[in-house]
Structure 1
Amino acid sequence: MKRPVSTPKHSLNRRSLVVGALQLGFAGALAARLRHLQITQADQYRLLAEENRINIRLIAPERGEIYDRNGVFLARNEQSYRITLVKEDAGDVRKLLVQLAQLITLSAEDIERSVLETQRSAPFLPVTIIDRVSWEDIAKVAINAPSLPGITPEVGLSRHYPLGPNFAHIVGYVGPVSDRDLNRSEDPDPLLRIPRFQIGKVGVEAKYEEDLRGRAGAKHVEVNAQGRVMRELERREGNSGRNLQITVDAGLQNYVQARLGEESASAVVMDCNSGDILAIASSPSYDPNKFVRGISFDDYGVLRDNDHRPLASKTVQDAYPPGSTFKMVTALAGLEDGILDPNARVFCPGHLDVSNRKFHCWKTGGHGQVNLEQSLRESCDVFYYDLALKLGIEKISAMATKLGIGVKHNIPMSAETTGLSPNKDWKLINRGSEWVIGDTVNASIGQGFVLSSPLQLAVMTARIASGKNIQARLIKAQAGATITDPKPGSLGLNENNLRFLRRAMYEVSNNRRGTAYGSRIIEQSMRMAGKTGTSQVRNITESERRRGVSKNEELEWNKRDHALFVNFAPFDAPKIAVAVVVEHGGSGSATAAPLARDITLQALYGDQPPLSAYPTKDRDKIKKQQADLRKTLPRLERFQRGRV
């Protein structure tokens, strides 16, 4: 009989100890975890037990601000109150909005728009119901928050343009993101999906949108079952947009805008040496702040239907026949080619017969014998008709391009036109017909197919004044760092030819027979050299010429000639170039030249010019004009930042 095998006691005890230790460790860990859950995190789980949840919400960055060359605010951010709604926390959105409308003023349109925006947006994104509300309305909503799930009163930032219409065409404005804006990118910034988030729509605001916008931040918030935010758990700040400083001088810009008044006109002032744009104004203008807040249908209709087109940035967007201001191009092309002797004379009987057609000079009786200087001074057309026949369109077109006509200058303003410096190939491709000799004759005096913007005319004048390849520049600094552009190189033109052309332009303004003599500058150190221009917008028939051409003042406004003037000053050491275009203004000498003279003096003096700079006959008129303008000009010290 076998005896049972006994188990050693020490073996049994070791196994028991191991098992016991494991059981004890598990029990201890469980107890510690229970203590952590029940005591340490009791509040958090009590909230979660009440159906609380965590939402992630984007934090819109502060938009970069825009200043003038001296640090004056042009676009800034202002604190404003708004009321937002988060769909996933709100339940019946329409019912909730109707309830909210009993507390604050909320139109039926606001309700419908908000409902539509919540349907189009992600359920966790806040939708702005109403912006720029009063503190009293914010307080009403805050007090009634428990009965308004998903609705939150907030403090945010709204864009404001302190100088309003004076910089509307340059700075532009911001507005809500549209479907079109979203479709421009395959992977749009999440910020753009926030309902009613605002981005740049036109002008510098649009061209530098990504730099000005910045990057979004995010916050994790805990909300209860009613959609009320209980606490903020985590916050990551975004990056503010970068500030911009433009080359424009706010004081000069304000003056130019005021001086243009309600004319349908434009003016550009440019530094002849750096290309900095010191002023670039279109008139009439509009208040960009209305677009930020949401312009009414009636207000927009007034702007849209105005025949002076306040919404158009005429300085860069519109292209006009440059008229006689283009004669410098034709003259310089002839001088550079060697075909034109500046002392040679051409007889002007008042017209030139070309291919069985009469091309008329503006002076019916003609100018008689004229050389180059006299032809520019008195703006004889026949001299340039004759020169163009010898020169040909290709050389004229090439010189126009060299001087900046028919070329985009790529400044950050909306809808910049290319203009047109036509040649034979252009007409064949775009009009499907051969170039004819009459086209060349018309082009020689800036009519026919030739088109230029006021900006291009300013660039042309700056290049003639300096002999350098001046490039237009609108941005001076970004995020505090000055943008340094390469120094402009030479145009490669003969300096003697340029010197002769500048002297002829001086005669336009300072010789008694010059077309702009009436708008001369008396102060010797400030004297300008310029050129008048008048461009036709209608055909004058032979029958009208026989009975007498109608005067501009006898015609409907939109059938009158455009008035143009370009100049640089001071003549001996050019600092600025100016171009002025007055739509349907009639005569360049009577309408555009006085405007350009006043703008030139304001730019050179940096403040109100002394009356002694003006002709004696004009001083009483100028004194009253200056007094009237002072009443309309804003005091810039109110908008001075001090440091950029």
Structure 2
Amino acid sequence: MRRPPRDTEESVRCITRRSLLMGGVMVGTGAVLGGRMRYMQVDQADAFRLLAEENRIKFRLIPPTRGLIFDRNGTALAENEQIYRIAIVPEDAGDVEMVLAKLRTLIPMTDEEVEEAVKDMRKASPFLEYTLKDRLTWEDVAKVAVNAPALPGVTPEVGLSRVYPLSEELAHVIGYVGRVSDYDLSKLENPDPLLQTPKFQIGKSGVENKLELPLRGKAGNKRIEVNASGRVMRELGRQEGEAGADIQLTIDHGLQDFVQARLEGQLAAAAVVMDVRNGDLLAVGSAPSFDPNKFVRGISVSDYKELTENKYRPLANKAVQGLYPPGSTFKMVTVLAAMEAGVVTAGEHFSCRGHKEVAGRKFHCWKRSGHGAMDLHDAIKNSCDVYFYELALKAGIENITAMANRLGLGERHDVPMSAVARGLTPTKAWKEANYDQGWVLGDSLNASIGQGFVLTSPMQLAVMTARLASGTQIAPRLIKSRDGIEEPIIGTDPLGISPTALTQIRKAMNAVCNESGGTAYRSRILPREMRMAGKTGTSQVRSVVVRNQDVPWEQRDHALFVGFAPYDDPKYAVSVVVEHGGGGSTAAAPVARDIMLQALYGELPPLEAYPSRDRWEVEQMRKGLKLRGNTRVKGSDQA
């Protein structure tokens, strides 16, 4: 059937429109392709010519800038310094040993350094950048840059290295960084590719280790162009990484400086200062100390041997990992356990004849002639052992240990420092499990005066004292903020201990320091508004009782003291342990008093704050202190 003329004309018009549309699309596409071809062949001719000449595009990781660490007032405790270094990529270098031989003619490199470099590069991936030498002078870097065409794969760079400006003062708290080891990598399931970079440094101890991830940040990357001979031609682009977080500690650098200097004269000692209101650790001292910068730069064998073979253990943070029998500083725990169990009252008396006989064995008081009738107040003031033996028989070890735990003993506190110890607050089940023996009454008597199985750290003793002073479950806090964001305060809830019992304990601790006859009366603070309350302790390290001066240093008793001040409005708690220092009243209490006065005044206090008989000795002590800062004497122009 023949189509009508009108339908034919409509079909022709439709085909014409489609042809024009398709033609337009084809012309447009051709124009775009032509423009692109011109851009690539004319405008980008030089770039593609270089790429065509056997050049290669490679990606390199950009190590992030490690976060800084500050004290509570903004003083830098760990920062990064700019250094010059020489790096090599084995894959680009080709004959690595030949390149190293040429490089040795330009910069100083020992045979040992060359051997170590070759060994490390063989173990690592060939495309990873390896730092051959760092901390070079500008002249050395300039020599390498000038001779770059003859050194394939070698690049002079400006880098960053960790530095601790206060050196030994905060070594145990801050810790240090060091090279990633195979052991470090073995502990990680999916290690960051950055850690596989030879000689990359990570936190090895202290805050540097415990806050490694936030301090490290995230790596960036860059695209570089390398020619056929392995020489870097240019950088084509980069994606910056994420710098590590800046950490602000609760530590007060000025107080820490004084604490560390005051401890250095004690051979081996530790001290902790804690704010009882918020748990801030204001100072954490451990003596002797060490220079963490040596570990960053690569400590020598002789220096490391000197540290590890030192009998005073400078590498150990005695404040948190040192465990000691608390001695008489534990007696407040025993009293509170007995009072909370309802087996004794503050006014109840027990007679001390110099010993307590249990199961045919005599348990002696430190005062062999005895103290006579003792109540709670006098027993703590005079540190009468027999009084606490009586309480132990009534309260039992389970109640004593439960109270110790409530006061922070036997607990691994969550602070970012290395090897934080849990300590030991024993129970009957613990002894059965560990010694396969039953608990005996003698164990309870020993525990009641902080001997026997009981072990505590200076950190735990500071927490115990802060809880006694505040009546709260306050916990230690070392990190004040991260990138300006404040960390929470933990443990402000009440302890749940009778306020009356706590008041009796505080009054007795006040008597220890401020009443004539108290075991720490000689170490009292004179200004009434700053009076310190405390407790001395002496813990035995040998079973045979002999005079400390008659035995070697390592067999002498440990000296301890705990205290808080001001008595009427507690702000700070302090604990001091002097290893093998002898008596707590003579070795530890004077140190604690000096530290507490420094915390209260914020600078060296006036001599008038000390008893008159001690002022000359205090003045001589100050002259011998090796303070780093310009610490001033209160009310004086004397530095």
**Residue of structure 2 aligned with 1:104, choices 98, 102, 107:** 107
- Are residue 304 (structure 1) and residue 308 (structure 2) matched? yes
Distance 1:309 1:83 in 2: 37
d(CA) in 2 for partners of 1:50 and 1:102?
Answer: 31
Tell me, yes or no, if structure 1 residue 605 matches structure 2 residue 601. Answer: yes
* Other-structure match for 2:566: 570
1:128 to 114, 131, 139: 131
Is residue 143 from structure 1 mapped to residue 146 from structure 2 by the alignment? yes
In 2: Cα distance, 1:491 partner to 1:22 partner: 82
Equivalence map 1:440-451=2 (5 Å): 440-451=444-455
Question: In the alignment, is the contact (CA less than 8 A) between 1:345 and 1:370 conserved in 2?
Answer: yes
> 1:472 maps to which residue?
476
Once the two structures are superposed, what CA deviation does each residue of 1:361-407 show, in whole Å capped at 9, x if it has no partner?
A: 11121212222211111111111111111111011011000111101
Equivalent in the alignment of 2:492: 488
Other-structure match for 1:159: 162
SS in 2 for 1:78: strand
Q: 1:435 to 1:222 in 2, by over 3 A?
A: same
The structure 2 residue matched to 1:632, chosen from 620, 627, 637, is 627
* Cα distance change of structure 1 residues 371 and 37 upon mapping to structure 2, 3 Å threshold: closer
Alpha-carbon deviation of 1:628? 3.2
1:326 is displaced (CA, Å) by 0.4
Match of 1:224 in 2: 227
d(CA) in 2 for partners of 1:49 and 1:120?
Answer: 33
Deviation at 1:518, TM superposition (A): 1.0
Kindly state the Cα deviation for residue 36 of structure 1 after the two structures are TM-superposed: 4.8
Contact 2:319/2:457, CA 8 A, preserved across alignment: yes
Q: TM-score, normalised by structure 2?
A: 0.92
Q: Deviations over 1:250-303 (max 9, x none)?
A: 000010000001420000000111111111110000111111111111000000
Q: Is residue 2:255 matched to residue 1:252?
A: yes
Aligned-CA RMSD value:
2.3
Q: Quick check: 2:79–2:163 contact (8 Å CA) kept in 1?
A: yes
Distance 2:288 2:554 in 1: 16
| Aligned-partner Cα distance in 1 for 2:29–2:345 | 108
Deviations for 1:225-244, whole angstroms, at most 9, x for unmatched residues? 22111111111101101111
Deviations 1:624-644 (A, max 9, x none): 322332x5323599xxxxxxx
The residue aligned with 2:12 is: none
Q: Residue 388 and residue 28 in structure 1: after superposition, are their counterparts in 2 closer, same or farther (change >3 A)?
A: closer
- Offset at 1:41? 3.0
What is the correspondence of 1:550-569 to structure 2 with a 5 Å cutoff? 550-569=546-565
Identify if the C-alpha distance between structure 1 residues 567 and 33 changes in structure 2 by more than 3 Å, giving closer, same or farther. Answer: closer
CA distance in 1 between counterparts of 2:272 and 2:511 reads 22
Is the partner of 1:340 in helix, strand or coil? coil
Displacement of 1:185: 2.2
- 2: CA distance, partners of 1:360 / 1:120: 64
Q: Deviations over 1:329-366 (max 9, x none)?
A: 00111112221122222121211111111111111212
**SS of the counterpart of 2:130?**
strand
165-174 or 356-365, which deviates more? 356-365
Change (3 A) 1:235 1:363: same
2:584 aligned partner: 588
2:424 maps to: 420
1:99 and 1:495 map into 2 onto residues whose CA distance is 78
Alpha carbons 1:72, 1:636 under 8 Å: kept: no
Which range moved further: 484-493 or 55-64?
Answer: 484-493
Q: Does 2:184 correspond to 1:181?
A: yes
1:513 pairs with 2:513: no
Equivalent-residue separation in structure 1 for 2:177 and 2:80 (angstroms):
12
Deviation at 1:318, TM superposition (A): 1.3
1:21–1:243 Cα change, 3 Å: closer
Amino acid at match of 1:634: G
2:195 is equivalent to residue 199 of structure 1: no
Q: Does 1:316 align with 2:320?
A: yes
Worse-superposed segment, 364-373 or 294-303: 364-373
Match for residue 239 of structure 1 among 242, 245, 260: 242
Partner AA of 2:482 in structure 1: Q
Q: 1:80-99 maps to which residues of 2 (within 5 A)?
A: 80-99=83-102
For 2:347, the equivalent position in structure 1 comes to 343
SS of equivalent to 1:427? helix
Deviation at 1:166, TM superposition (A): 0.8
2:271 matched to which residue of 1? 267
CA distance in 2, matches of 1:487, 1:551: 42
SS at match of 1:632: coil
> Are the structure 2 counterparts of residues 461 and 26 from structure 1 closer, same or farther at C-alpha, using a change threshold of 3 Å?
closer
SS at match of 1:298: helix
Query: Any unmatched runs of 5+ in structure 2?
Result: 1-15, 17-22, 633-639
1:399 aligns with 2:403: yes
- Please give the secondary structure, in 2, of the residue aligned with 1:405: coil
Range that drifts further, 351-360 or 55-64: 351-360
Unaligned 5+ residue runs, structure 1?
A: 1-13, 15-19, 541-548, 638-644
**Where does residue 10 of structure 1 map in the other structure?**
none
- Quote the residue 1:4 is aligned against: none
Alignment equivalent of 2:505, drawn from 484, 492, 501: 501
User: How far apart in 1 are the matches of 2:142 and 2:201?
Assistant: 25
Cα deviations across residues 479-526 of structure 1 (Å, max 9, x unaligned)?
Answer: 111123356010011111111111111111112211111111111111
Counterpart residue identity of residue 278, structure 2: S
- Whether the 8 Å contact between 1:55 and 1:124 is mirrored in structure 2 is no
SS for the counterpart of 1:471 is: coil
Specify the code of the residue in structure 1 equivalent to 2:629: P
> Which residue identity does 2:69 align to in structure 1?
I
Q: Which moved more, 1:374-383 or 1:442-451?
A: 374-383
Q: What is the SS of the residue equivalent to 2:204?
A: strand
Residue by residue over 1:64-100, the C-alpha shift from the partner in whole angstroms, topping out at 9 and shown as x without a partner, is 1010011110111111111100011101112211221
Question: Partners of 1:77 and 1:221 in 2: how far apart?
Answer: 26
Which SS does the other structure have where 1:97 is aligned? helix
Aligned to 1:172: 175
The reply to whether residue 622 of structure 1 matches residue 618 of structure 2 is yes
Q: Which amino acid aligns with 1:407?
A: E
The offset of 1:34, in angstroms, is 6.4
Letter of the 1:633 counterpart:
R
Aligned equivalents of 1:323, 1:386: Cα separation in 2: 17
Supply the distance in 1 between the matched residues of 2:324 and 2:25 (Cα, whole angstroms): 93
1:377 is aligned, of 375, 378, 381, to: 381
Structure 1 residues 424-462: Cα deviation after superposition (integer angstroms, max 9, x where no partner): 111111222111111101100000000100000000001
- State which of 38, 42, 57 in structure 1 corresponds to 2:60: 57
Write out aligned runs for 1:428-447 (5 A).
Answer: 428-447=432-451
* Corresponding residue SS for 2:136: coil
- How high is the TM-score relative to the length of structure 1? 0.92
> Alpha carbons of 1:341 and 1:87: their partners in 2 closer, same or farther (altered >3 Å)?
same
Residues paired across the two proteins, number: 613
Question: Aligned pair in 2 of structure 1 residues 592, 39: CA closer, same or farther (>3 Å)?
Answer: same
